Amino acid sequence: MSDLPVSLDVPLSSLVRLAIEAWRLERWLKRVDAPESVGAVRHALRQLKDVLSEHGVEAVDLTGSPYDPGLSPDVVEAIDDPAAPEGPGVIDETISPVVLCGGAVVSHGQVITRRRRTPTNAADDRSAGE
């Protein structure tokens, strides 16, 4: 046992993947009717998140947040919703979380937004597709 290293040099990309998969597991667990057998899975998830936190890595789910074009996630789809409030809209769903390390964005994430289509953002949509 004495030949084992005390610490390992882990690439940040591996921690980012771990953060994204822990986020997916957490999202899945929220959808499950909590039978007793998921207690062990919840415990494992807490342990994963604790390890990530010790290294300053955090996965951020932006679902329900107001969309800000200056934010880091990539918009994979913008849903036209006449009932949405004026403005740039809200994040309807997080497809992949934003991952932070020490507060800095290391993975941009992907989101779906919901907004009211206006002549201004409709022109933005056309120019984005060109």
Parse the chain into domains and list their residue ranges.
12-128
- The predicted-structure confidence for 60-99, as pLDDT tens digits, reads as follows 999 999 998 888 899 999 999 998 878 888 999 999 999 9
For domain 12-128, give the fold: Nucleotide Exchange Factor Grpe; Chain A, domain 2 (2.30.22)
Element (H, E) at 123: helix 119-128
Give the pLDDT band (50/70/90) at residue 112: very high
Query: What are the tokens at 114?
Result: 């919901």
- The predicted-structure confidence for 15-57, as pLDDT tens digits, reads as follows 999 999 999 998 888 887 766 667 888 888 999 999 999 999 9
- Checking 5-12 for CB contacts under 8 A at 24+ apart, the result is 10/55, 12/101, 12/106
Element (H, E) at 11: none
